[in-house]
Homo-oligomer: A and B are copies of this chain.
Amino acid sequence: MRRLYAFPLSPYCRKVRLALAEKGLSVDLIEIRPWDRAHELVSKNPAAETPVLVEEDGTVVVDSGAICEYLEEVYPDHPLLPRHAAERAEVRRLVAWFDVKFRADVTENILTEKVIRRLKRDGEPDSAFIRVGAANLRNHLEYIAMLADQRNWLAGSALTLADFAAAGHLSCLDYMGAVKWDEFPSAKHWYQRIKSRPAFRAILSDHLPGLPPAAHYGDLDF
């Protein structure tokens, strides 16, 4: 069976899990906390980061971006990239927008402080970072709402990796109850649509011991 080494509240692992599920590819999830630097992980990825995909034939694929491109090349059914180069570039721009900029602006400030610090037992969360993250999140929700108003999905007419990159980050923040959806109805409407997909089910049933999700986290009608 295909295996994915993953930390449940990693936006990058979630992006890959969504891509696998959307393509109908089953996978055994091996839960791992990257900061433990387990030999099992480091021997496959010297960067000691999740996600790492191990195919049935033993092929190891490292890095969420590389995994998504690999899945697209090897399993082209249910494509998550459009056909034309310029449209593919727009998807990749948005994936980088979420995985680099949104991460630095929001995810690092909120998720790292509220969750990772706690799980690593690395002191108390710093509320200054959390406030900065929350302010940046508003700007990003406005941007998502703008895209959702102009397009069927974030990068264009079809569901793509850009939606999964965004949903990876936002679903982790939503687990913590950190997203004020009602203030951004167009962003909420986009998230409702993606949350309702069968590919999302496994993510909505994630539950970290000692760190339960916000009450509305699993609701499709939130």
> Which A residues are within 8 Å of any B CB, using their own CB?
46-47, 59, 61-63, 65-67, 69-70, 73-74, 85-86, 88-89, 92-93, 96-97, 101, 143
Contacts and interface: CB of A to CB of B under 8 A. Distances in A.
Given A74-B85, A88-B73, A96 B143 contact: no
A101 B45 CA distance: 12
A69 B88 contact: yes
A46 B92 contact: no
A59 B88 CA distance: 12
A205 B89 CA distance: 30
A97 B67 contact: no
A66 B90 CA distance: 8
Contacts of A66: 89, 92-93, 96
Contacts of A86: 59, 61, 70
A149 to B, nearest CB: 15
B47 A97 contact: yes
Contact of A69 (B67, B74, B89, B143): B89
Contacts of A85: 70, 73-74
Q: Is the interface of A mostly helix, strand, loop or mixed?
A: helix
A65 B143 CA distance: 21
Contact of A65 (B65, B73, B74): B65
B101 A47 contact: yes
A89 B101 contact: no
B47 A65 contact: no
A20 B213 CA distance: 47
Given A66-B92, A66-B96, A70-B92, 17 more contacts: A47-B97, A47-B101, A59-B86, A61-B89, A61-B93, A63-B93, A63-B96, A65-B96, A66-B89, A66-B93, A67-B89, A70-B85, A70-B86, A70-B88, A70-B89, A73-B85, A73-B88
B73 A92 contact: no
A62 to B, nearest CB: 4
28 contacts: A46-B143, A47-B97, A47-B101, A59-B86, A61-B89, A61-B93, A62-B89, A62-B93, A63-B92, A63-B96, A63-B97, A65-B65, A65-B92, A65-B96, A66-B89, A66-B92, A66-B93, A69-B69, A69-B88, A69-B89, A69-B92, A70-B85, A70-B86, A70-B88, A70-B89, A70-B92, A73-B85, A74-B85
